Structure 1
Amino acid sequence: MATYIAFLRAINLGATRKFPKDAIVAATEAAGFTDVATHINTGNVRFDTTMRSRARIEAALEKAYLEDRGFEVPTIVFTQKELAAIADEAESFGHGGRHYVSLLKEAPSAAAVAKVEAVGTADEVAKVGGRAVHLLLGDNYHEAKLTNATVEKHLGVATNRNLTVIRTLAEKWC
């Protein structure tokens, strides 16, 4: 049995994409996963499974969520070790501004990484490590060009969390 953490993309936005924490737990358990827990209502889910394939886990969760909600819920899964490494890597940047992390469904190519990093400026920097893109933003974060939408344009399906959430989940679940 192994523990994984899933990040659900684009839930609880507007009136038609509601997916409350209790419903996430129930759908995850109905898909056969155990020891399910959530953290805040933005789609952060910890669970245990005997499955070892990330792709199979994501597919099983996405199927269960579609059946439960009636809309697709892209799901991005990490091992505890991977999540802890993302939180630890953030410390190396020594950034004092806004820090968000876009979590990628697939590992990007070097060419794609170069494209997203090229969008950066002195006030907005993207640091890509594996399936995590650290967005280091200054005071202009409300007007930032480096957003999860920019990340998705260049690197594919992603969901975004602030560094506080990433650190909290790593401390709580890893």
Structure 2
Amino acid sequence: MARYIAFLRAINLGAHRKFPKDAIRACVEGAGFRDVATHINTGNVLLTTSRRSRASVENALEEAFLADRGFPVPTIAFRPEELVEVVRAGEELAASRPEVVRHYVTLLKEEPSAGVSAEVTDATEPGVDVLVVGRAVHVVTDHVLGQGGPQSDRLERLLGVATTRNQTVLSALVQKWC
């Protein structure tokens, strides 16, 4: 049995994309996953499965969410050891920037090419440091992001399916589930 932590994108934003964590848990269990747990209401789900690939897990969840909610819910899954590495890399980056006020981590469905990683790193605004590590893009800044950060539409198109959490949430998940 494999464990995964799944991150749901674009839920509980506005009146039409509601997906409370209890409903998420019931839907994931109904799709045949076990040992399901959720953390806060932003779409963070721990699960156990006999499925052998991350893509299979993501596809099964996305199909179940669409059937349950009636709207697509892009889902990005990480093995616990992958998430531990994401958090560790973020801690190292933040330690090099003690003035950091915000630390966002954009989790990607697919690992970007070296060229895309370089373009993402080069396209950020002054005062923002970006580190692409595997399927995660760390963004640390001492101010609120404006246009040109990794959340911009242009960079989102480069990175593909992604969802963003802050480093604090990811660290809490590692402590709780890994």
TM-score normalised per structure 2 = 0.93
Deviations 1:63-115 (A, max 9, x none): 00000000000000000000011111111111322100000000101111111
**In the alignment, residue 116 of structure 2 is paired with which amino acid?**
A
Instruction: State the Cα distance separating 1:144 from its structure 2 match.
Output: 4.9
3-state secondary structure, aligned to 1:126: strand
Match of 1:102 in 2: 106
Match of 1:46 in 2: 46
Task: Provide structure 1 residue ranges, at least 5 long, that are not aligned to the other structure.
Answer: none
3-state secondary structure, aligned to 1:89: helix
Deviates more, 1:67-76 or 1:116-125: 116-125
Match of 2:132 in 1: 128
3-state secondary structure, aligned to 2:36: strand
Match of 1:22 in 2: 22
- C-alpha separation between the residues in 1 aligned to 2:148 and 2:141? 10
- C-alpha separation between the residues in 2 aligned to 1:47 and 1:39? 12
3-state secondary structure, aligned to 1:152: helix
- C-alpha separation between the residues in 2 aligned to 1:149 and 1:74? 18
RMSD: 1.2
Match of 1:161 in 2: 165
Deviates more, 1:109-118 or 1:89-98: 89-98
Partners of 2:125 and 2:148 within 8 A in 1: no
Deviates more, 1:81-90 or 1:91-100: 91-100
Instruction: State the Cα distance separating 1:16 from its structure 2 match.
Output: 0.3
Instruction: State the Cα distance separating 1:120 from its structure 2 match.
Output: 2.1
Match of 1:152 in 2: 156
TM-score normalised per structure 1 = 0.95
**In the alignment, residue 20 of structure 1 is paired with which amino acid?**
P
Deviations 1:136-156 (A, max 9, x none): 1222x1425213345422211
Partners of 1:126 and 1:146 within 8 A in 2: no
Q: How many residues align?
A: 173
Match of 2:2 in 1: 2
Task: Provide structure 2 residue ranges, at least 5 long, that are not aligned to the other structure.
Answer: none
Q: Does 1:61 align with 2:64?
A: no
